[in-house]
Structure 1
Amino acid sequence: MVNLLTGADIRSRNRELLQRLEKISYQEILSTIPRECFEKNTLRGMLAVLLHLGILATSYTLWTYAPVWLAPLFWVWVGTVLWGNFVLAHDCGHRSFSPFNGLNDCIGHTLLLPTLYPFHSWRIMHNRHHTWTNHQEKDNSWRTITPEKYLAMSVFDRFWYRNAHSYAWWFASEIHLFLYHYDKAKFRPQEWSEARFSIAMVLGFGAIFFPALVYYTGFWGLVNYWLMPWLVFHFWLSTFTMIHHNHPDVPYYHPEDWTPVKAQLFGTVDCSYPWWVELVAYNIGIHVPHHLTTAIPYYNLPKAQAALKTRWPDFIHEARFRWSYVQKIVSTCHLCDREGYHVPVSTIAHQHVKS
C-alpha cells in the first residue's frame, strides 16, 4: 500500500511508480478483478433499498416521539442515512444496480428526490468525472488548479474556490448541485432531454413536499425534518468526494501527463469510516475498484478491492477517516504545482493579486 505520509522522498518514489504504470495496460489491471465481481443481483439490490428505506422510516418515526434536545442527534443520523440514499442511487446511475435500466432510473429518481438531485443530471455529470478523473482541465469534481489560473480569477471566484477547497469544504457539494445540475448550458443537446425530465421531477416533488411539510409541521418542521439532515447529507457527500481524490501524495495530472491508468488506480483513495457511517454507506469508501470500472455493484467491491491489493499493492492509496486527516487535506490541497501535487494557497500569498 502507498504510504500516505508525505516526506522528502515521496515525489521521487511516486515518479518511479508512475513510470511503472506507463508500462501497464488498463486491461491488465481490470483482469485482476474476479469476473463474479461484475455480476448484478437485482433482488439483492432491491432488498437493500427496502431495508434502507425501512431504516429511514423508522428513524423518522422515532424522531417524532423524541424530546427536542435530541434533535441534533437525529440530524446527524438521518442526514447520514440520506447519504445512503445517494450511494444506492449512485449504483443506479452507473447501471450496476440492475441490468434493467428502467428499474435503475425509477429507483435512482426515487432515492434522490429528497436530496434535490435530478437523477439524470447528476448521472451525466458524474460520468464525466469518471471519464476525466484527476485531469486538471476536465475533471468536474474537486479539481485543483494552478496558481496562475487562480490568480487570473475574479475576486469572487477566488473567494469561492479558496473556501470550497479549505475549511468550508462541506458547502462545496451544495454549490456544485445548483451550479451544475440545473444549468442547461452544462449539457450537450442530446443529454438535455433526460436532464430536463429529472429536473422537472425534482421541481414537482418540491412543489408538493415543501408546502405540505410546512403546513403539517410548521417552519420549524422544515428546518428540523429536512434542512438540517440535508446539510448533514451534504457534509458527507462533500467529505467522501474530497477524500477520494485529494491528498498531498495524489497528483492532479496535467493534460500531457494524464492517463486513465494513472487517474483511476493511483489517483483515487480508498477510505474507511466509523461503523455507523459504513452501515449505510454501502462500500462507497472502497473507491479504487469503483473508479477502475463502474460496472461493479457495491456489494462486490470488497472482493474486487482485495484482488487489486494483492496484485497491485504499491499503487493502492488507503486512509482512515479522522479529523486530523481531513484537516491535513483542507489545509494543503488547494492548488497544483508544476508536477500536479497539491500546495496551499498561502504559497502564493506574497504575490500581488489583481482583482
Structure 2
Amino acid sequence: MSIGQAAADSFIRGSVSRSGPELILATKPYAVDSTARSWWYILSTTVLLAAAVAGTLLAPHPLLKLGASVLSGLLLLRMFVIYHDQQHHAILPKSKAAEGFMWVFGILSLSPSSIWRASHNHHHNHNSKIKGSHIGSFPIMTREHFEKARKPARWLYLFMRHPLTILFGYLTVFLHGMCLRPFAMKPREHWDCFISLLVHACIAGFLIRFAGWQAWLLTQILPHFIASAIGSYFFYAQHNFPDVAFYDKSGWTYDRAALESSSYLKMGPVMAWFSANIGYHHIHHLNARIPFYRLPEVLQAIPELRNPKVTTLNPLEIYRCLRLKVWDVKQQKMVALNDPELG
C-alpha cells in the first residue's frame, strides 16, 4: 500500500468514516456482475462436480472413489454458494437460462427456490434482531426468556442449536427444514419441496438398484453430508460467535446488523475457493447484490470494512462458537448456559 493510500484510509477511518446508507452506497459500484465470469464459475464448477460424481462410480480403487466422494461434497458446497448468489440476483439477474439451471440445482441440492428465497430473504432483513430472526436462521433466546420457557420449548431450542444438529444438517436443516416441513405446512406454495424429496428418493433408489449400497453412500449420502455439515456450520458461525451483537427494534439498523452481527469467517485460499468466498459475510450482508467473486475486492477497496469481527476454522474457535447458547442482556453478549457470570 502506498503512503498516499494509507493516509487516505486513515483519514476515512478517522473523521469522515462512512456508515449507514452512505456506506451501503459505497458498495454499489461493486454490485455488478460479469456475465462471462459468472457463467464460467457456474459451468466450470458444474463440470468438476459431474466429474467428481462420476469418479465415485467409475474410479478403479475404493480409496479413489472415497476421495472423489469427498471432493463431490466440497464442490457441492461451492455450487450451493454460487446458487445462493444467483438467488440473490447478485449474478446473472436477468438470465432465464441461469434461473432455470439454478432451479434444477435447488431441487437436486435439497434447497428448493421457493423456500430458500422466502426464508433467506427474511434472514437478511431481520439478521441480529432478538425477535423475528429465527426464520431462515438459528433461533436466539435471551437468558431471561430461556429461564422462563417451558421444558419442551427449552429442549427444542437447545436441539436446534446443538452441534450434532449442525453436523447432521443433511437430515435436520435440508431434508427436514428445507423440504419436508415447508411442504407439510404450505404444500401449494412449496410444491417444489416435494419435487426435491421425490427426486432425491428416486436417485437413491436408482443408485441402490443398479450400482449397489456402496455407490449410494459414496455418490449421494457422503457428498450431501459433507456439504450440508460444512454449510450448516458456516451459517451458524457467521451469526453466532463470541463478539456477535443482537438488538431489539430500537437499536437495529441494516448496516449495524451486517457489520456487528455477521462475521468475517477467515479461511485459507483452498477453503475460500470451495466456499465461494462466503466467509466475507459482513460484506455480503451489507450488500447481497455483490457477486461472490468481487467480495475480496470490496474488502480491499473500502477501509471501513477491513476491521470486521473475525472467526476462523481453528478447532478452538469452532468450540467457542458452538458453546454459545443464549443472549445475556446485561452483559450484551452470547454466553454458554454454564457461564459463571450468569449467576
Shared fold, TM over 0.5: yes
Q: 2:168 aligns with which of 168, 171, 176?
A: 171
Q: Post-superposition shift, 1:95?
A: 1.0
Q: Distance in 2 between matches of 1:209 and 1:349?
A: 51
Alpha-carbon distance between aligned partners in 2 of 1:328 and 1:88, rounded to the nearest angstrom: 28
Gaps of 5+ in 2: 1-14
For structure 1, which runs of at least 5 residues remain unmatched after alignment? 1-19
Q: Any residues of structure 2 matched to 1:1-355 within 5 Å, and which?
A: 25-33=19-27, 35=29, 37-63=30-56, 64-69=58-63, 72-100=66-94, 102-139=96-133, 140=135, 141-168=137-164, 169-172=166-169, 174-177=171-174, 178-179=176-177, 181=179, 182-183=181-182, 195-196=190-191, 198-308=192-302, 310-314=303-307, 316-331=308-323, 333-339=324-330, 340-347=332-339
Give how far 1:244 is off: 1.1
C-alpha displacement at 1:27, in angstroms? 1.5
Shift of 1:160: 4.2
For these two proteins, the number of residue pairs brought into alignment is 321
Identity %: 20
Structure-1 separation of matches of 2:342 and 2:21: 46
Amino acid at match of 2:177: L
CA distance 1:200–1:84, change in 2 (3 Å): same
Q: Within 1, Cα distance between the matches of 2:20 and 2:329?
A: 26
Instruction: Give the TM-score taking structure 1 as reference length.
Output: 0.80
Q: Secondary structure at the match of 2:310?
A: strand
TM-score, structure 2 length as denominator?
Answer: 0.83
Instruction: Give the deviation of 1:82 after TM superposition.
Output: 0.9
Structure-2 change in CA distance of 1:157 and 1:55 (3 Å): farther
Take 2:212 and 2:34, find their aligned partners in 1: how far apart are those partners? 42
Which deviates more, 110-119 or 168-177? 168-177
SS at 1:206's partner residue?
helix
Give SS of 1:120's match. helix
Two-structure CA RMSD over aligned residues (Å): 2.9
1:336 alignment partner, SS class: strand
Paired amino acid for 1:146: T
> C-alpha displacement at 1:131, in angstroms?
0.4
Question: What does residue 11 of structure 2 align with?
Answer: none
Cα pair distance change 1:207/1:93, threshold 3 Å? same
One-letter amino acid matched to 1:259: T
* Separation of aligned partners in 2, 1:38 and 1:102: 19
Bigger mean CA offset, 23-32 vs 119-128: 23-32
Alpha-carbon offset, residue 39 of structure 1 = 1.4
